[in-house]
Each structure stands twice: as C-alpha cells, then as structure tokens.
C-alpha cells in the first residue's frame, strides 16, 4: 500500500503543478491586459486516512486558484477619450447588449464607441445615468434608470439667454436728456444670436433710464429677429459714492417675442445692473466707459466630440465651445468582490458569495474614483511569475522522479517474487 500511496501522491503533485503552471501561463499572457487580476495557486494537503508514527498513509496535494480581484493595478494614461479606470473599490457596470442584455461587471475600462456612439468593450456596453447639463442625476442613483452611455445622445446644443449682467460707468457730467448707445447679444431658445441696442438717457441728477431696442440681426441691422416689449428701466445712483442705489422696476427684466426663427418667447430675462456706476468722465468728454455686458446662453453648436472627466462625468463637446454633461458612469461595489465569478473578456458576475451589487456614482459611498483617459494596468508581475514557473517546473520534475523510483521499486519487488 505504501508504494501505491507514493505513486498516487506523486501523480497528484504532477496534476497540481500542471495547474499551477497553467495559472502562471495565463498570468504572463495577460500581463498587458487592462484590468487583469493575477491568479495565484494555493496548494492544500490531501489526507485519505489517519496516519500514525508506525503507519503512514499518503494523501497527495490539491490546488486551488485564487484571483485577488481587489488588488489595485497602476493607472496608466491613455490617449483614447473613451478609456476609463477606477482608483479604489468597485467595477464598471456593463450589459451584453445595448438594451435588455445580461449585466456583468469589469475593471477593464477599454471602451470605444460603436457606429451609433454607444460605448462598448468587445460587445459589452458601459452603463450610466443620464444627467442634467450641470452633471447632477435627476431622481438620484436609481439602478433601474441605468442605461447604455451614448456619446451621440445630444447632436446639437443651444441655450436661450435668461440673464444678463451689465457693468459700465455712466458719465455724471452729462447733461440732462443726453443719450448714449451700447449693445448686447442675446440668444433665443433655438440658439439664434441677435443684437439688442441699449439707449442710456440721463433724466435728472443721479438718474438714468435704460431703453432696449428690438432684437436685430448681427449681420444686418435692418432685419428684426424679435420684438422687445419691455419699457424703460430707471437707474438711480447714490450722489456720494456713485454706486447704483435703486432700479425701477425691481427686479428689472427684459422680454422679447415674435422671434423670426419660430423660437419660443424670451420672457423675463433677468437684468443685473449691479456693476453700474456714475462718475464724471476722466477726459472731460461725457461717454459711457468700461462697458462689460455678459449674457448667458449660447448659439447652436454641432457635436464635435466627447470627454470623460474625473468622477466619471461624460460630457459632449460642441463646435460653439460648449461642454455639456450627458451621463455619469455607474460604479458597482460588493460585500465580497473576491467571491465574484470570472468570465472571459475580464467580465465578472455576482454570486451568493459576493453578494448583490450596490450602485453608486464615482467617489460616493464605498465606490472608487473614475478617471478618464486612463486604463488600469494588469497586476501581473512578470519577474515573480518566472520565479513561480521555475518552482513549478522543479516540483514537477521531483514528482516525476518519485514515479520513476516507485517503478523501479515495483520491478525489484516483482523480481524477488519470481
């Protein structure tokens, strides 16, 4: 029985070291695979029966594969706008189809847009939440609202002017009824720009009116794009400090309607005159000086690209220079991530050991931080794997020598029985 046990133990060693070598081979093969987690061989003693000092029963060895899924790989910069990486805990959420697919989890953030602009990694589609233009998620991080990230979701961009800040110095040395002209740009809801003239009229000491003209075409002032319906606005200044003291009406607003391009009316554009002052002209010639007029809103722009910033915000960029948040990438965390079940392409699925996924945005709760233009490197240390390979080879050779020795001992036994 001892020879049989020795043979059986040696055979189990060959099988175990073969599996260990297979793990080393996989690790080396995936040393450049983004998000790959190194697999380690864990050897365990096998016992078939109780042993004593007088009688020993060999059992052999078994091997288990352990992938340290939580091990952090180095983040390497990438020139691909769709590449993303997680620093810290968590996984990207992907579906096996753009809609209605099976959910998987991965650390491999090597994504590219398909022909419809949807971010995917070898057919697995990146999931996230649609956001407001300011990057917030309406309704919160509801897992049921996760959707495939589409970089072409907003092909054009435009925003109507809703507020204007005005700053300038009105000449205190101007005569009553003197008028001065300036202008500002406004945008309707379809992104069409128009020029609105402003007439500043001194009505009394320390009092002025601002009257706004119709919205005109910037290229041809004879063409009216919209009709201004607001009346004159009175501005009163402090006679000691020269600062604006009151406006009438308060708060002052501007309304423009009948847009020639069919845009909706611009009602109640807020006017902020807080930067207005009244001081005497420095050169003795009354004039409106230092005008700074800043409307919000912007003209129509065509989609020119996209970017992924820190915290996983996907933004669409436009030809008008605007950048608008459209998605936020979801991060899934688990109670025991090492309990996930591995699949090809660096994908994992949840198990009873890992627990169910908790979905959060980047950097929230237990979730790590998502970085754009980066990839997580493989955790394989090739020098360490070469050392493991040599160890497996030596152990395999030693086990094979045991088999050879057992074979010779069998031959000796058989010869003695002849």
Q: What is the DSSP string of 203-241?
A: EETTEEEEEEEEEE-SS-TTSEEEEE----EEEEE-TTT
Q: Please give the biggest Cα pair distance in the chain.
A: 137
Q: Rounded distance, CA 264 to CA 262, Å?
A: 7
Domain count, the chain: 3
Going by C-beta distance under 8 Å and a sequence separation of 6 or more, which residues neighbour residue 51?
A: 57
First to last CA, the chain: 20
Judged against a pLDDT cut of 70, whether residue 50 lies above it is answered with: no
Burial zone of 402 (CB within 10 Å; 0-12 exposed, 13-18 middle, 19+ buried): middle
Q: Of 105, 153, 100, nearest to 354 (Cα)?
A: 105
Out of 227, 262, 291, pick the residue that ends a domain. 291
pLDDT score recorded for residue 92: 98
Average pLDDT estimate for 140-150: 95
In this structure, the answer to whether residues 238 and 279 fall within a common structural domain is: yes
- Residue where one domain finishes, among candidates 251, 267, 291: 291
At 48 the pLDDT is 67
Same domain, yes or no: 371 and 383: no
**Statement: residue 82 has pLDDT above 80:** yes
Q: What is the pLDDT of residue 49?
A: 63
Q: Which of 131, 97, 130, 94 is nearest to 109 (CA)?
A: 94
pLDDT at residue 97 in the model:
96
pLDDT at 134 over 90: no
Type and span of the H or E element at 24: helix 2-29
Evaluate the CA torsion angle 69, 71, 72, 74 in order and state its sign: negative
User: Which pLDDT band, with edges at 50, 70 and 90, does 53 fall under?
Assistant: low
Q: What is the 3-state secondary structure (H, E, C) of 371-406?
A: EECEEECCCCCHHHHHHHHHHHHHHHHHHHHHHHHH
Q: Is the pLDDT of residue 277 over 80?
A: yes
Residue span of the structural domain in which 258 resides: 162-291
Q: Where does the pLDDT of residue 406 fall: very low under 50, low under 70, confident under 90, or very high at 90 and above?
A: confident
Please check whether residues 26 and 125 belong to one and the same domain: no
- Mean pLDDT over each residue of the chain, to the nearest integer: 93
Distances (CA, A) of 388 to 23, 74, 381, 385, 392: 10, 22, 11, 5, 6
Question: Are both 207 and 143 inside the same structural domain?
Answer: no
**pLDDT single digits (tens) 315-357:** 999 998 889 999 999 999 999 999 999 999 899 999 999 999 9
C-beta neighbour count of 338 within 10 angstroms: 14
Please indicate, yes or no, whether residues 189 and 124 belong to a single structural domain of this protein: no
Over the stretch 148-200, which tens digit does the pLDDT of each residue have? 999 999 888 889 999 999 999 999 999 999 999 999 999 999 999 999 999 99
In a domain, 341, yes or no: yes
Residue 417: pLDDT band with limits 50, 70, 90: confident
The predicted structure's pLDDT at residue 361: 96
Would you list the DSSP string of 55-99?
------EEEEEEE-TTPPPPEEE-S-TT-EEEESS-EEEEESSTT
Say if 256 falls within a structural domain: yes
Residue 297 lies in a domain: no
In 3D space, the residue among 91, 77, 95 whose CA is nearest the CA of residue 37 turns out to be: 91
In sequence order, which residues have a C-beta less than 8 Å from that of residue 384 and are 6 or more positions away? none
Task: Report the residue count for the chain.
Answer: 418
Asked whether residue 90 is domain-assigned, the answer is: yes
pLDDT at 29 over 90: yes
> For residue 296, is it within any domain?
no
Q: Cα(246)–Cα(95) distance, rounded to whole angstroms?
A: 59
279 and 169 in a common domain: yes
Indicate whether 214 pLDDT > 90.
yes
Domain match, 253 and 270 both: yes
Q: Are residues 182 and 287 in the same domain?
A: yes
Q: What does the pLDDT look like over 88-122, one tens digit per residue?
A: 999 999 999 999 999 999 999 999 999 999 999 99
Q: Which residue, of 257, 291, 325, is where some domain finishes?
A: 291
Q: Is a pLDDT exceeding 80 seen at residue 84?
A: yes
Position 73 in a domain: no
Whether 348 and 279 map to the same domain: the answer is no
Residue 135 scores a pLDDT above 90: no
Same domain, residue pair 324 and 271: no
Q: Answer yes or no: is pLDDT of 64 > 90.
A: no
Any domain includes 207: yes
Is 1's pLDDT higher than 60? no
Same domain for 311 and 372, yes or no, is: yes
> Per the domain annotation, does 176 fall within a domain?
yes
Share of the chain above pLDDT 90, in %: 79
Residue 124 scores a pLDDT above 90: yes
- CA-to-CA distance for 72 and 70, rounded, in angstroms? 6
Quick one: 151 and 166 in the same domain?
A: no
Q: What CATH number did the domain enclosing 273 receive?
A: 2.60.98.20
């Amino acid at each position: 029985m001892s020879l049989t046990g020795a043979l059986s133990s040696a055979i189990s060693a060959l099988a175990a070291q073969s599996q260990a070598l297979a793990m080393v081979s996989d690790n080396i093969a995936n040393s450049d695979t983004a998000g790959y987690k190194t697999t380690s061989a864990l050897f365990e003693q096998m016992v078939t029966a109780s042993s004593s000092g007088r009688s020993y029963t060999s059992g052999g060895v078994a091997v288990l594969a352990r992938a340290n899924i939580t091990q952090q790989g180095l983040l390497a910069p990438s020139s691909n706008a769709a590449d993303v990486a997680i620093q810290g805990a968590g996984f990207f959420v992907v579906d096996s189809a753009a809609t209605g697919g099976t959910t998987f989890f991965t650390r491999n953030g090597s994504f590219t847009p398909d022909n419809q602009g949807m971010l995917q990694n070898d057919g697995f589609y990146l999931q996230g939440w649609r956001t407001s233009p300011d990057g917030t998620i309406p309704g919160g991080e509801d897992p049921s609202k996760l959707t495939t990230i589409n970089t072409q979701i907003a092909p054009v961009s435009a925003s109507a002017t809703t507020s204007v800040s005005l700053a300038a110095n009105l000449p205190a040395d101007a005569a009553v009824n003197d008028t001065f002209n300036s202008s500002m740009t406004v945008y309707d809801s379809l992104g069409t720009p128009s020029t609105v003239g402003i007439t500043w009229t001194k009505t009394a000491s320390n009092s002025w009116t601002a009257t706004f003209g119709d919205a005109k075409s910037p290229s041809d002032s004879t063409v009216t794009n919209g009709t201004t319906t607001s009346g004159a606005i009175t501005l009163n200044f402090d006679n000691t400090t020269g600062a604006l003291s009151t406006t009438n009406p308060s708060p002052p607003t501007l309304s423009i309607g009948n847009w020639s391009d069919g845009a909706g009316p611009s009602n109640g554009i807020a006017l902020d005159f807080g930067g207005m002052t009244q001081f005497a002209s420095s050169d003795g010639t009354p004039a409106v000086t230092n005008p700074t007029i800043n409307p919000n809103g912007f003209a129509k722009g065509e989609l020119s690209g996209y970017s992924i910033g820190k915290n996983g915000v996907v933004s669409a960029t436009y030809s008008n220079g605007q950048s608008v948040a459209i998605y936020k990438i979801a991060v899934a965390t688990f109670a025991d991530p090492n309990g996930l079940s591995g699949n090809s392409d660096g994908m994992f699925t949840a198990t009873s050991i890992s627990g169910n996924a908790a979905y959060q945005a980047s950097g929230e709760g237990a979730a790590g931080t998502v970085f754009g233009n980066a990839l997580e490197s493989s955790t394989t240390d090739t020098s360490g794997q070469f050392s493991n390979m040599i160890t497996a080879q030596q152990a395999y050779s030693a086990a094979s020598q045991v088999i050879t020795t057992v074979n010779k001992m069998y031959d000796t036994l058989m010869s003695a029985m002849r």
